[in-house]
Amino acid sequence: MKVREMRIPVIALAICILACAVSPSNSNDAPLRKEAYEGGEIHDITHSFTPNTPAGTYPNGIGKFLTLLRSMKNGSDFNFSELKLPLHAGTHVDAPGHYYDNYFDQGFDVDSLDLRVLNGPALLVDVPRDKNITAQVVKSLHIPKGVKRVLFRTLNTDRRLMYKKEFDSSFVGFTEDGAQWLVDNTDVKLVGTDYLSVGAFDYATTAHLVFLKSKEIILVEGLKLDDVQAGIYSVHCLPLRLVGSEGSPIRCILM
């Protein structure tokens, strides 16, 4: 459901949440993994983590990332797992310290990111295919003044690059001039893209430097934008509170 269609009273919403929470389920059923919920009211735009999830320049995905340290099958009273994960794998967020070492030393980590930026109205746009996001391309998208969050769907989604474990350097992303045009001519504070880097391979460093320089723009990368219509939504993105970290896995949904 898009933002303009949401008219659910708070009390009714609370009742719905409670009802869903206590609804009985058949323990014999396989768990449901939904990408969208009935009526389209929620779209999960986060990629699931698997051993094949791409990260950085890893050639074969992230590999084993969960270790079952204590197992009920081996006599433990409970199951207990350990997570070991590259922080810029799959759907993730960048903090200013990712490309600025002075910001890293000053503590501008993911725990300092503004949740008011990470949550709110957002515009999902389709970028012309076969093109990096240059200044000319950004200008052609006619992003209205006042829009603070934009998710850019590109050829990466069509090519399903986030479903391939091998890193693909031919992905589409921002050029330096495209990033600069967006910063100089719009009010955007959250930039979301559909592959592992907001900047195209040859512009990965320069595009990040442009976006992160002010410490006011948050980058969300590796979004799952399949089968979602372009338009206005409410986006909700929550990173882990990792003190001292320049990146974090992030769960993002559109409503």
33 domain residue, yes or no: no
Between 13-17, 88-92, 120-124, the lowest mean confidence (pLDDT) is in 13-17
Q: Would you say 143 and 123 are in contact if contact means Cβ atoms under 8 Å apart?
A: yes
* Domains in the chain, number: 1
Nearest to 149 by CA among 223, 242, 44: 223
Residue 180 lies in a domain: yes
Whether residue 22 has pLDDT greater than 70: no
Per-residue confidence band for 72, with pLDDT thresholds at 50, 70 and 90: very high
**pLDDT for the residue 57:** 80
- Cβ-contact 72, 231 below 8 angstroms: no
Kindly tell me if the per-residue pLDDT of 247 is higher than 80: yes
| Angstrom distance (rounded) from CA 154 to CA 225 | 9
Residue range 128-150: mean pLDDT, rounded: 96
Per-residue pLDDT band for 50 (boundaries 50, 70, 90) equals: very high
Q: Does residue 66 fall inside a structural domain?
A: no
Q: Within a domain: residue 30?
A: no
Per-residue pLDDT at 215 exceeds 90: yes
Q: Report residue 21's pLDDT band, with 50, 70 and 90 as the boundaries.
A: very low
Cβ(178)–Cβ(134) below 8 Å = yes
> How would you class 215 by CB atoms within 10 Å of its CB: exposed for 0-12, middle for 13-18, buried for 19 or more?
middle
Q: Give the domain CATH number at 160.
A: 3.50.30.50
Q: What percent of the chain has pLDDT over 90?
A: 81
Buried b (16+ CB within 10 A) or exposed e, 8-18: eeeeeeeeeee
Closest C-alpha to 46, from 11, 93, 100, 10:
93
- The whole-number pLDDT of residue 41 equals 87
* 45 domain residue, yes or no: no
CA distance 145 to 149: 11
> Tokens 């350990």 map to which residue?
82
pLDDT of residue 23 exceeding 70, the answer is no
In a domain, 177, yes or no: yes
Sign for the CA dihedral angle at 22, 15, 239, 224 comes to: positive
Model confidence at 15: pLDDT above 80: no
Q: What is the pLDDT of residues 162-178, one digit of tens each?
A: 999 999 999 999 999 99
Sequence length of the chain is 255
Q: Looking at the domain assignment, is residue 11 inside a domain?
A: no
Q: Is the residue at 44 inside a domain? A: no
pTM for the whole structure: 0.85
> What is the domain extent for residue 183?
92-254
Q: What pLDDT, on a 0 to 100 scale, did the predictor assign at position 25?
A: 44
Q: What is the mean pLDDT of residues 77-96?
A: 97
